[in-house]
Amino acid sequence: MMRLTAKVSRAVRNGIGSVSVLKPPPLPKAAAPPRRQFSASSSTFTPNPIAVEMIKYATSLARENKTEESYARGLLVLEQCESTQPDENSKGLVELARSTLMFERGSHETAIEGLGKLQDLSLSSLDIKVAASEALVGIYLEIYREDAASAVADLALQILGSIRHELGDGAGFEALEARIKALKGLIELICGDIECAKLVFEGVPREGLSNANAALSYGEFLHGMRKFSAAKEMYQRVIQATSDIKDFGDPNNLGACNMSPREVAIAAGCCLGQLEAHAGHFGDAEEILTTALKQVEEHFGPQHPKVGVILTCIALMYRLKAMVERSSSLLIQEGLFRRAIELLKAPPLEVDGADANINRKDIIVLARGGYAETLLVQQSRKAEGERLKQWAETAWGNRWMSLGEALELSESSPKVPVIDTRICRVV
């Protein structure tokens, strides 16, 4: 494993890079997705092995170089694969893969359309449709469409509840319903309603947390409320559960887009690293976050914005360590925050920080706020720091704590900020 010091040195060396505005993807005109029926058939199915192998080949081909050309080749393989599938379950599996590749290359609108199409396949299994709903919620949360995310989750819960009422509690849909309830809890966390989130998560059966996405969201809730021991247990459960999962290979663990098993595994590791830092275990935090950084670079490429998300977590860890130990790591923090801001494609300071169309705004604000603090103690750069701080405070939208509280992490605060790399938001 590459040590963090080498990563830090590289981040500092890369220094200041050009920043540009990341234009948000066009959104569907409808405020909420239309009602589409889930199949009431059995929730389990046996995937076509040929389809699974072609999907694996297509995703490997697309991610080989992580370029527009490589993704186009992978998508072409999926198009050919779909045309040869004899049943809609297999077609649905292909569509999950296609939406995932579209999402990875930044085509959020196309991914949303593909996931919506899955609800129209009358014979698709509930596993596929729940995975599609989960991915839709994930994308909507990432692009700050909480109302649309909530509508997707509410519809899925309503239909799953109707099926359970019709077929009885022994029908085998409880685990799928738990996944959607956990999504609802995540939405409430994002919206700042801690009490509603608590009620939702308390209503999720513990056996329903066998799903990695559900367990991760619940772990983030516990973590944010400073229940570190219980949160750590959930994160470790997620990491263990996702260690051997291959995308689209297990119908009981289907996921897509930013809710795919690989994304969940990376997010769980990053959350665990943040937790160790919040608990004051900085050596463990450094090692875990280094691993998460390596994983996200391997999966997305070293220039992907999500690398900037992990670098922000590492910089915040160094900031907290310096405060606790009354030491100084300004050079390291400054280099990490600067590199993170570049990778996150932060908009120029002339762009209004309150603009809701800034992608990954939560993380950009934390990075710029932390960067500002490193400049404010340098007399020659104090004016620059004040400007960054003003922009970040204007852009900060968390309902439960100020930006200053999020950066200082006072023990008197009832909640700590947790960065969810799946959706690039602070929960």
* pLDDT of residue 36 exceeding 70: no
Phi-psi region of 192 (alpha: psi -120 to 50; beta: other; left: phi over 0): left
| Phi and psi at residue 426, to the nearest 5° | -100, 125
pLDDT score of 43: 52
Q: Is residue 21 part of a domain?
A: no
Q: What is the mean pLDDT of residues 50-54?
A: 91
426 three-state secondary structure: strand
Q: Is residue 169 part of a domain?
A: yes
Q: What's the one-letter identity of residue 109?
A: E
Question: How many structural domains is the chain composed of?
Answer: 1
Q: Is residue 108 part of a domain?
A: no
Q: Is residue 237 part of a domain?
A: yes
Confidence band for 121, pLDDT divided at 50, 70 and 90: low
- What six digits make up the tokens of 373? 């603090």
pLDDT score of 40: 41
Q: Give the C-alpha distances (Å, rounded to integers) separating 253 from 91, 201, 225, 398.
A: 17, 20, 28, 32
Confidence band for 48, pLDDT divided at 50, 70 and 90: confident
The β-bridge partners of 426 are 419
Q: Is residue 111 part of a domain?
A: no
Q: Which residue range forms the structural domain that includes residue 411?
A: 4-16+29-45+125-426
CA distance 288 to 283: 9
| Phi and psi at residue 69, to the nearest 5° | -65, -45
CA distance 275 to 183: 21
420 three-state secondary structure: strand
Which of the listed ranges 158-162, 288-292, 354-358, 402-406 does the model predict with the highest average pLDDT?
288-292
Instruction: Please report, rounded to a whole number, the percentage of residues in the chain having pLDDT higher than 70.
Output: 85
Angle at 117 between CA 218 and CA 134, to 5 degrees: 0
pLDDT score of 284: 98
* pLDDT of residue 85 exceeding 70: yes
Distance between the two ends of the chain, CA-based, in angstroms? 29
Q: What is the CATH number of the domain that holds 231?
A: 1.25.40.10
Mean of per-residue pLDDT scores for the chain: 86
CA distance 63 to 60: 5
User: Between 305-325 and 361-376, two packed helices, what is the crossing angle to 10 degrees?
Assistant: 40
Q: Is residue 256 part of a domain?
A: yes
The number of angstroms, rounded, from the C-alpha of 222 to the middle of its chain's C-alpha atoms is 17
Q: Is residue 244 part of a domain?
A: yes
Residue 310 CB-half CA count within 13 A: 35
425 three-state secondary structure: strand
User: pTM for the whole thing?
Assistant: 0.87
Q: What is the mean pLDDT of residues 369-378?
A: 95
Confidence band for 390, pLDDT divided at 50, 70 and 90: very high
Confidence band for 425, pLDDT divided at 50, 70 and 90: very high
CA distance 340 to 164: 46
The β-bridge partners of 147 are none
Enumerate residues 6+ apart whose C-beta is below 8 A from 45.
89, 125, 127, 128, 251
Q: Is residue 118 part of a domain?
A: no
Confidence band for 413, pLDDT divided at 50, 70 and 90: confident
* pLDDT of residue 245 exceeding 50: yes
Q: Give the C-alpha distances (Å, rounded to integers) separating 262 from 68, 245, 257, 259, 409.
A: 21, 8, 10, 8, 29
Render pLDDT for 161-204 as a digit per residue (tens, 0 to 9).
Answer: 887 777 766 556 778 888 999 999 999 999 989 999 999 999 88
* pLDDT of residue 410 exceeding 60: yes
**206 vs 48: which has the higher pLDDT:** 48
The dihedral formed by the CA atoms of 96, 97, 99 and 102, expressed in degrees to the nearest 10: 170
| Phi and psi at residue 317, to the nearest 5° | -65, -45
Q: Which residues of 30-68 are buried (b: 16+ CB within 10 A; e: fewer)?
A: eebbeebebbeeebebebbeebbebbeebbebbbeebee
Confidence band for 248, pLDDT divided at 50, 70 and 90: low
The β-bridge partners of 420 are 425
**343 vs 194: which has the higher pLDDT:** 343
